[in-house]
Amino acid sequence: MKTTLINFYNSFFGCEFARYFRRPADFQISRIQYTVTTPQKLYLHVAKNSGFHQCFASIYDYCSLDQLKHNNLSNIYFDRIYFDFDISNSTLHNIKKTLVDLRSHGLNYRFSEQEDLKLQLKDYVINGIAKSAIDDGKKFAYIFKQTFGKYPALFFSGFKGCHLYCFFEPTKLIDANKSIEVFSNKMKDVYNLKTMDLMVNKSALSRLARIPYSKHPYTGLSVVPFKISDSYEDIISKSMKPTVEPFNIGDHSTNFNMHLFKIDHILENNRLIKLEQNEARIKTNPKNYTPFDNVNHLRFFEDVLGEPEHKYPEKKYVMYHCPFKDHPDNNPSFRVYKTGYSCYGCEKSGNYWQFLKDYYGWDDNQVKHYLKSARTA
């Protein structure tokens, strides 16, 4: 199985790459993460951890270890999109929580209780708990094929649902995260895909996904590919006794990138229009934005960026999604207070003058010229 699995990873991830392998351990203070560059190295980590810990890998190739180390998403090999379908069930949640609490003391702590809880979770899955998520995944795959000509690659997650990969020619987008998020939101809303997990698409480029043919530590079931024609029973049977199947990206490659490209450019055009409108608003109140006055940054950034995501009057600051595009920012990390700003995501900080330099790429003379022009407009 070793050779066939390495061959599968070679076809699925590529013969050389720069990705994270992550093992979120229930009894470690922090997550365990390694860099992997070949299918062989990925296989070794999976073989060591599969069945004991969850095994995840970066969806995208960072192309170099330096970019991986600095989590630089600007030049990744963007050739696929990942979608996740997952059911929400309070009974499963409570069983899993109890199991995780036990595992936090070690894999052998009250071993028989852990095994009993794992068996309960496995029985729920075998008896159909994940069927609605898999049905939604199949529905998405069918709609996708009708529009783009080929089915995505479908995988059972080994637990509560499934995930899909849509492949295409490598594409450079201005804001891939936002474009993917817009597409996903529309699909879920229009086609009533209740189990579609939109959280994975808010930071799509930095997302990690469960590795094919790894074994889920809470159920003992494997992550396996399936076809849209497979019954639920067929999928579970494959997961219980996995056999590595050949994989060809070409069987799932479409021109979906062109659709994302259109969304991306519409979003960018809307962003530029908003910038022009905000600049016009600044010029209507130029006295507040001269280099000679004490600028109220709360008002300045509201004019530039619009309404903040969160306001904290008692703390005298507000929060925005970071306007700089060099890091994902699902939860607002850009703090603005009366005398300046700081972002704990990208660590940029300063006053309005520094912001204009960084945001527009201006030098001091250009900023000064802009502010003087605004003052006399």
Instruction: Tell me the pTM.
Output: 0.77
Q: How many domains is the chain built from?
A: 2
328 has a pLDDT exceeding 90:
no
Say if 108 falls within a structural domain: yes
Neighbours of 178 (CB within 10 A): 19
Indicate whether 74 and 173 sit together in one domain.
yes
Q: What is the pLDDT of residue 21?
A: 97
Do 224 and 159 form a contact (C-beta atoms < 8 A)? no
The counts of H helices and E strands in the chain are: 12, 14
With residue 298 as reference, give the H or E element that holds it: helix 297-305
The phi, psi pair for 197, rounded to 5°, reads -90, 105
Question: Taken in order 310, 324, 277, 365, is the CA torsion positive or negative?
Answer: positive
Contact (CB, 8 A) for 29 and 35: no
Contact 216, 106 (CB under 8 A): no
Q: Could you tell me if residue 203 is inside a domain?
A: yes
Residue 224 belongs to some domain of the structure = yes
Instruction: Band the pLDDT of 223: cuts 50, 70, 90.
Output: very high
Using the predicted structure, report yes or no on whether residue 228 has a pLDDT greater than 70. Answer: yes
Lowest mean pLDDT among 16-25, 229-238, 318-327: 318-327
State the residue for tokens 């060809």. 248
Domain harbouring 330, CATH code: 3.90.580.10
The mean pLDDT value of the chain amounts to 89
Q: What is the 3-state secondary structure (H, E, C) of 92-160?
A: HHHHHHHHHHHHCCCCCCCHHHHHHHHHHHHHHHHCCCCHHHHHHHHHHHHHHHHHHCCCCEEEECCCC
Distance separating alpha carbons of residues 201 and 179, to the nearest angstrom: 9
In a domain, 302, yes or no: yes
Burial of 9 (0-12, 13-18, 19+ CB in 10 A): buried
In a domain? residue 270? no
- Decide which of 279 and 1 is more confident: 1
Residue 194 belongs to a domain: yes
For the chain, what is the largest distance between any 2 Cα atoms, rounded to a whole number of angstroms?
78
DSSP state of 244: P
In degrees and rounded to multiples of 5, residue 199 shows phi and psi of -60, -35
Q: Buried (b) or exposed (e) across 206-216, using 16+ Cβ within 10 A?
A: bbbbbbbbbbb
Element (H, E) at 353: helix 352-360
313 and 253 both lie in a single domain = no
Distance CA 116, CA 113 (A): 5
Residues spanned by the domain of 290:
285-376
Q: Is residue 275 part of a domain?
A: no
What pLDDT does residue 30 have? Answer: 61
Predicted local distance difference test score (pLDDT) of residue 292:
44
Q: Both 291 and 242 in a single domain?
A: no
- Judge whether residue 369 has pLDDT over 70: yes
Contact 135, 223 (CB under 8 A): no
C-alpha closest to that of 210 among 250, 161, 280: 161
Residues 124 and 199 grouped into a single domain: yes
pLDDT surpasses 60 at 286: no
- Joined together, the tokens standing for residue 300 give 């300045």
